[in-house]
């Protein structure tokens, strides 16, 4: 099992800084990135089962190919955001991954799937500006992590929690790695399938079926990046066959399983997000 040479090279250009101690908020992970390279960065974002907040201190921007929107400075990516690229030079940014359950309270809104490169200012208003100024003034990455966590804690304390039934359904999806039926989840929480579908989508941002598919895709993507064959990954991850895996990888990532296995975005994951807690599990 090996990462392709191109993915290794792309990953090596990034200086990655992780937290020296676990954070206080469950369902939250954050990492600092600095580009060591000199040429233009153009990375396709691989969908992940978490809402991602990006605060850039360099010359990077997020480009939403589907809507044509570009965001510089700070942005929020919802679940399954479509074709999004990171582009620029001298990129230095803080990435925060939020469980969608936590994101609902922290960001004060649910993010619809597709075309979801949203300015943090649009969600937090002046608080976003003040937080960004404090992050820029911070003397170290640890200080930046502390500033970001304090801002998230304030938002979480003031925000509105998802329904307990919705939170339970999400956790079951994560535990089962996406291999759970919506009918079973509805029965577990005592709701009709229709009610769970509607409430889950309004609070998480995806339908229960699509959310479960995203969790399953994430496991498959990392198995592919680790060098496992598409046939084995399909069998282990709950796909009907290799063709089924191919269709879902194309639907989520816009590339083939072979291309996904070499994605630079995945090549740094084991280092950048090697935390004891699961960023999207709470």
Per-domain residue ranges for the chain?
A: 5-161, 164-261
pLDDT for residue 43 is more than 60: yes
CATH of domain 164-261: 1.10.10.60
- Say if residue 22 is exposed, middle or buried (CB neighbours under 10 Å; 0-12, 13-18, 19+): exposed
Each residue of 163-193: pLDDT tens digit? 999 999 999 999 999 999 999 999 999 999 9
Provide the percentage of residues in the chain whose pLDDT is more than 90. Answer: 51
Q: Of the given ranges (49-63, 131-145, 176-190, 199-213), which has the lowest mean pLDDT?
A: 49-63
CB neighbours of 114 closer than 8 A, spacing ≥ 6? 66, 80, 81, 82
pLDDT at 36: 84
pLDDT at 243: 97
CATH of domain 5-161: 2.60.120.10
pLDDT for residue 27 is more than 50: yes
Each residue of 84-120: pLDDT tens digit? 888 888 889 999 999 999 999 888 766 665 446 788 8
Other Cβ atoms within 10 Å of 16 Cβ, number: 15
| DSSP track, 181-215 | -HHHHHHHHT--HHHHHHHHHHHHSS-HHHHHHHH
Each residue of 212-255: pLDDT tens digit? 999 999 999 999 999 999 999 999 999 999 999 999 999 999 99
pLDDT at 100: 92
CB neighbours of 186 closer than 8 A, spacing ≥ 6? 192, 193, 195, 196
């Amino acid at each position: 099992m090996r990462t392709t040479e191109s993915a290794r090279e792309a990953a090596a250009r990034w200086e990655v800084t992780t937290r020296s101690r676990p954070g206080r908020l469950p369902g939250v992970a954050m990492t600092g990135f600095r580009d060591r390279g000199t040429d233009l960065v153009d990375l396709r974002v691989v969908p992940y089962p978490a809402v991602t907040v990006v605060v850039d201190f360099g010359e990077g921007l997020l480009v939403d190919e589907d809507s044509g929107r570009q965001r510089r400075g700070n942005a929020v990516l919802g679940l399954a955001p479509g074709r999004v690229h990171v582009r620029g030079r001298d990129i230095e940014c803080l990435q925060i991954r939020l469980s969608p359950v936590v994101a609902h309270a922290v960001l004060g809104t649910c993010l619809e799937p597709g075309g979801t490169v949203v300015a943090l200012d649009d969600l937090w208003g002046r608080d976003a500006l003040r937080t960004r100024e404090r992050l820029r003034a911070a003397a170290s990455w640890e200080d930046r992590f502390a500033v970001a966590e304090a801002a998230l804690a304030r938002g979480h304390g003031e925000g509105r929690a998802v329904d307990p039934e919705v939170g339970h359904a999400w956790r079951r999806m994560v535990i089962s790695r996406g291999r759970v039926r919506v009918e079973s989840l509805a029965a577990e929480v005592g709701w009709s399938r229709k009610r769970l579908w509607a409430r889950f989508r309004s609070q998480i941002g995806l339908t229960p079926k699509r959310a479960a598919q995203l969790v399953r895709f994430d496991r498959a993507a990392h198995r592919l990046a680790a060098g496992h064959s598409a046939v084995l990954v399909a069998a282990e991850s709950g796909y009907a066959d290799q063709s089924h895996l191919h269709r879902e990888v194309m639907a989520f990532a816009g590339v083939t399983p072979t291309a996904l296995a070499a994605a630079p975005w995945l090549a740094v994951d084991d280092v950048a997000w090697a935390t004891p807690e699961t960023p999207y599990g709470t």
